[in-house]
Structure 1
């Protein structure tokens, strides 16, 4: 059952990412500096491989979250939500901020990406404790 919870958690984070970045596409493109064509879409498009790799990476994060939750005794929905949000807010977001700071990227990009990390990890944590 744990493997299914990891797949479901990764899927939840992945779908949330589609909605989140769909809603924030324009500010993200502006902040990231990605070059766009005349239609406003990133030049070169996005290959299906990017989305496949994104899901694999979500599986890795969800799998490690499951392991940490198991070691920590996190089993309730509330604890999963808070634990996941904490991982996103206090582990992943600072790392994104560090990379963006050294890359001299705008704070807006860090806020957008860190916000997604926090929300996606909270959702994954919630899903992990459903099983």
Structure 2
């Protein structure tokens, strides 16, 4: 059952990412300095591989969150949501900002990517405590 929880949590975060980046596509492209032509070339080559790797990495995050929740006794829906929100906001988001800072990327890119990470972790936390 735990493997199904982790799989479902990763899927929830993956779907949220699809919606998030579709809504913010133009803003993200400008902030990332990526043109539509570059994306068209990219999508024709390795997009499926990239999506697959992204999903596997989300499985890793969801699996570790489940482990931390089990060790911490987090088992209520509200606790899972808040813990996931905290993980995204206070662990993952600062790391994204640090990477973008040293890569001399705009703050707007950090806000977009960190916003997704925060919400995705909250969704993962919620889903992990649903079952």
> What is the TM-score with the length of structure 2 in the denominator?
0.95
Aligned to 2:83: 83
1:44 CA displacement: 1.4
Q: How far, CA to CA, are the matches of 1:73 and 1:34 in structure 2?
A: 43
Q: Which residue of 2 aligns with 1:24?
A: 24
Higher helix share: 2
Tell me the equivalent position of 1:45. 42
Cα offset, 1:42, TM superposition: 1.1
Post-superposition CA distance 1:95-126 (Å, at most 9, x none): 00000000110000000000000000000000
Q: Which residue of 2 aligns with 1:58?
A: 58
What is the distance in 1 between the residues matched to 2:35 and 2:23?
A: 19
| Pairs aligned (count) | 128
Structure 2 residue runs of 5 or longer lacking an equivalent are none
CA distance in 2, matches of 1:94, 1:74: 23
- Coordinate RMSD, CA, aligned: 1.0
Q: CA deviation at 1:24?
A: 0.3
Matches within 5 A, 1:1-131: 1-37=1-37, 42-46=39-43, 47-131=47-131
**TM-score, normalization by structure 1:** 0.95
Moved over 3 A (4+): none
Structure 1: segments with no counterpart, 5+ residues: none
